[in-house]
Structure 1
Amino acid sequence: MDLPDELLMQAFGHLQTEATADTPIHCLDMCSSPEIKNVRLTCRRFRDTSSHLLIRFVPVEMTPVSLERLEQISRHPTISKGVLAVRVILHFYDEPLAHDFRLFINYQGSTSRGDKPGTEDLGANTERELAIAIGTGATMHELWQSLWDDPSEGTELGHQALCLLQRAYHIYQERYEAQQKLCQDGGFPQAVATAMARMPTAVGLEMRDGKQFGKQHHHDFIEQMKDEEKQLEEMVYPHEWYESTEQVHHVGHPPLELLAQLPLAIQLAGTSLVTLELRVSSPGSFPLLAQEAQEENLDLVLPMLRHVRSF
């Protein structure tokens, strides 16, 4: 094909919804097209002239694996040129739960009640499966509550539940330690800021605290109750901020300081944010923001917001 690269890039741009630096970050999900993946497989030239459209925003969590993915994308010679924003997911692991097994048991008991998802328009078979799953969830809740009172619960089912809890607790501790190491001395905000500075069009930042679609579908719930590994993964899923408002869950304060540290680090790394979106659930209080160090951070961040066109 004899068309110049510039025309090819424009043509491939029509395969997806147009996105600019002003496009709301939560809408960028709808601006990507699976056709770009197919185009990139056609030939080397098509790959080189369409790769900048492959990823419009990068989600990053407070985990080494997720941060490494952001790092790799930011260093890619073509893909990095099309990234418009970074979505930082600030769900977190809690220190008290990571250091106290009995507290972890109590937390699991308080959050695994087998609550019933919506059952509109379910077939009879699905309703039966859902009823069994709810019963399983309720049984696990009762077992974990009893293990809180007596960790030596001797029934076979109690032993299975305790083994599952011990596995979950070990994973939870590992993920908490990895998160702490990642965030030590401001390392996480600095790593995000450095990666964004490498991507010339990445001028949007979204901070959120959990899954994009938090409501659990009944099929997900059924599969989770059938599969021990799915139960395990749900048990060690990081906390959203609202959980710190529910005292029965014994979840401590979320990483509020990152709300100031992230945009500040991005600014200091040389990126002027155009879009800043905050989509975290409301925690019970904001004590960390009252600390003197955080007040100083806010004093530095507020002037920076003059450049933000969308907030």
Structure 2
Amino acid sequence: MDPVGVLDRLTIEEPDNPVGNFFHTIWFDTEWHKVKGYGDHNAESYDSYRDYPDVRIPQSLLGDSRWSPEQIDARADELCRRPLENLDTADLATLYQNLHDIDEALRHIQDDWPVKGFYVGSQFVEAVVVPPQEQRAYTYEEGLSDFEDELMAAHGWADMEDEDDDDDFFNNVDGLGQPIHEDDDIDGLGQPDINIPPEHAHEPHREAVDDEEKNPSRPFDPKPYSLNAEEYQARFHVDLAKRLLQRCKHIRGIVRIRSRKHVRPLNLGDMPHDILAPVFAAEENQTIIEKGYRPLEYHRDKQQLDLMKSLRLTCRSLADMMSPLLFSSFTVRLTDESLTKLVYISRHPTLGKGIKTIRTAAPYQDVFIAENPAHFVDHVLYLMVQSFMIDDEDTGRSRWCGGLPGEEAAYFEFMKSVANFRSLDRDEGLNARMPGGDWYAAFSQHALLFRCWNVYRNKVAEEFRVLDGIYNEGDNFVRLVVDAIARMPSVETLAFSDHSHDQPWALRHRGTRNKFTDEPLFDFFTRGSNWENARNLPSAGSQNRCLLLLVSLLSTIGSRNIELKHLEINVTAPNTLTGFGVAPEAREIFQRALRNVEFLKFHISPDPFNRTPIPLKYPPREPEELDSLDEFLDCLLSSNNLRELDLSFKSLRKENVDNPVRYYLPSLWKARPWPHLRKATLDSVCMDSTKLKNFLGDRPLWLTELYKPHMSFGT
């Protein structure tokens, strides 16, 4: 039975008990007569427990399955005879099996223990356990509990010595305070036969109550414990249990040395991050939003973040445990500052463990705009018209759609100041690559435009330095990012986008009363463009190196054998699709990066935050471009572990309204194993009805969305 009242003290770490073992010599040496809360389930006055709800009745845990004393002796003796020297070189499985066998034997020993109850008058007031070291009789001073001492003081009982030997009632009682008669059958513990009629047991108690009312005296004098040392040892196996405990302590010492590099107790700091994250989930109080099969994203408010910071400031161990939970994703941009942060986090012993998602932001920044201020002016005018004007279908003229009516006047005033540069010598403006001339002088006087142009060209120059490896001792962007991913063990998701991943400009300045002031416009003009908008720039997006960056990034990940589980590619339509091409010699390495991908998202769609009020028409794609895109898609779909698929080619559909069959991609409808694919979302895809069976297969497949498909072939 489980001891009550000393369990907390037994489980703490002590010099004699370094592992906090529940079975310990302190259990056998405890003065159980001082521990409250014990009862005897065989006590005669069982109903009296109802008056004392705090008294707990010890029950046998093993019941009928408990070994007999002979079986306990035989099993324990067998365990103690096993040579310890063989365990010094044994594996951990053997050591743990020996510990399990010892614990099993100790459970059977501890499941039987002498329990006694005391009465005051006819009331059962407390239960005690006979301590094993007590082989003599309980004296009145040693046997009373604190409860009985308080009861004596309340009733004014005196501790008097009985001078007469005529008081047979208090001298002839058993361990429960019950009178012993000549015909009683006494068992080995000095307890009466529980099969005698209850009336026979309770009647003397009524007489005792009457006597106490006349002459108050001590409530009882327990009967001496009748077992001698040999009988006691044979029944309760105390010495045998102590031998097992010493053996257990020795084996645990071997386990601690064999299983840990340093002999020290296990603490929270030794646990891996995968275990610590659920442990601190309550303190983190995170709101989990699950989107399909994608990894969980954590959104924390200020109160939750402050709580995590407070835990980090508590001590170094908590700081190491909470630091990985501060953020689970990192967005790397084409800047030296962003790369420096990524490398630092990946090499940090705690921060790098919490990163699960790497987002790569690759917006387009035009070299022609950076080199020529006249092109920058054209770029500004295009952004302003595209974002804040719309063509009226009824009148055929452009009208204001920029927001608040009060901002309209500020908008046209700014547009007038920028349009004045067109009234100057246009040739001089287009050739104004060097300072000098009237056009450049007028442009430099416009403080906002001149400042924005300088910042923009500095960003373009920094992007070229990062991609070409001028920074970071010759390491280019791709190598630095892949090396950082390899150092972070929890990274499973790679997201690539031509968006900046900053808050959209319209949302960031939504609360600004007038968005057409210097600071909001500075933020607007110095941002990179998405790839689709870059097609309307002076260079038509021909200098797009970021598309080549995507293929190079995935190929390098495959060469490093990094296993990704989630891949998200969300881009707008570039000026050319040839950058998606994968060389035949790099195809195998490219597919190696995707062999364990479970969730795939590939979108070539317009930017949802980019309103395009002016309809844009582009020339049809060349067949070579679509072949390159089909090769890229074929590699993406090569994973046999794919569980969820999300494809969208909305931009291609808008480009080929007249002839949708042009953007048909045959690799989508190839027969693939995909044993785990259960969910698919298809948007703006060209289909072939004769090959649908290859795509659907025999598996159950949930098509969550089939939006505006085009049946290019078949019926």
Tell me whether the two structures share a fold, i.e. TM-score over 0.5.
Answer: yes
Match for residue 572 of structure 2 among 267, 274, 281: 281
Corresponding residue for 2:299?
A: 30
- Report the residue type matching 1:309 in the other structure: E
Corresponding residue for 1:189?
A: 478
Give the TM-score normalised by structure 2: 0.37
Corresponding residue for 2:340?
A: 68
Corresponding residue for 2:325?
A: 53
1:174 aligns with 2:478: no
CA contact (8 A) 1:208 1:280 kept: yes
Runs of 4+ in 1 over 6 A off after TM superposition: 158-161
Q: Which has the larger radius of gyration?
A: 2
Q: Specify every segment of 5 or more residues in structure 2 that has no aligned partner in the other structure, as ranges.
A: 1-12, 14-265, 391-402, 430-437, 470-474, 601-715
Q: 1:136 offset after TM fit, Å?
A: 1.9
Counting aligned pairs with the same residue, the percent is 22
CA–CA distance in structure 1, aligned partners of residues 583 and 550 of structure 2: 10
Summarize deviations over 1:47-86 as a string: whole Å, max 9, x none.
Answer: 1222121121111111111111111111111111111110
- Higher RCO (C-alpha under 8 Å, 6+ residues apart): 1
1:165 aligns with 2:435: no
CA–CA distance in structure 2, aligned partners of residues 196 and 308 of structure 1: 16
CA–CA distance in structure 2, aligned partners of residues 140 and 250 of structure 1: 26
CA contact (8 A) 2:357 2:492 kept: yes
CA contact (8 A) 1:260 1:294 kept: no
CA contact (8 A) 1:276 1:308 kept: yes
Residue 170 of structure 1 aligns to a residue whose secondary structure is: helix
Q: 1:253 offset after TM fit, Å?
A: 4.7
CA–CA distance in structure 1, aligned partners of residues 555 and 342 of structure 2: 19
Summarize deviations over 1:100-123 as a string: whole Å, max 9, x none.
Answer: 211111111111237179xxxxxx
CA–CA distance in structure 1, aligned partners of residues 294 and 419 of structure 2: 44
- Taking the TM superposition and a 5 Å limit, the aligned residue runs for 1:122-141 are 130-141=404-415
CA contact (8 A) 1:107 1:249 kept: no
RMSD value over aligned CA atoms?
3.5
1:102 aligns with 2:357: no
Q: Specify every segment of 5 or more residues in structure 1 that has no aligned partner in the other structure, as ranges.
A: 118-128
Give the TM-score normalised by structure 1: 0.79
CA–CA distance in structure 2, aligned partners of residues 278 and 60 of structure 1: 15
Residue 146 of structure 1 aligns to a residue whose secondary structure is: helix
CA–CA distance in structure 2, aligned partners of residues 19 and 130 of structure 1: 34
Corresponding residue for 1:41?
A: 313
Q: How many residues are paired up?
A: 292
Corresponding residue for 2:548?
A: 257
Match for residue 272 of structure 1 among 540, 563, 574: 563
1:4 aligns with 2:250: no
CA–CA distance in structure 2, aligned partners of residues 221 and 246 of structure 1: 29
Corresponding residue for 1:308?
A: 597
Q: If each structure's helix is expressed as a fraction of its own residues, which one has the higher value?
A: 1
- Report the residue type matching 2:458 in the other structure: E
Summarize deviations over 1:260-294 as a string: whole Å, max 9, x none.
Answer: 1112222323422111111122224323335xx75
CA–CA distance in structure 2, aligned partners of residues 72 and 206 of structure 1: 20
CA contact (8 A) 1:96 1:252 kept: no
CA–CA distance in structure 2, aligned partners of residues 86 and 8 of structure 1: 22
Summarize deviations over 1:212-265 as a string: whole Å, max 9, x none.
Answer: 453713625645423x13322321111112213435795445321112111222
Corresponding residue for 2:34?
A: none
CA–CA distance in structure 1, aligned partners of residues 410 and 583 of structure 2: 45
CA–CA distance in structure 2, aligned partners of residues 298 and 107 of structure 1: 38
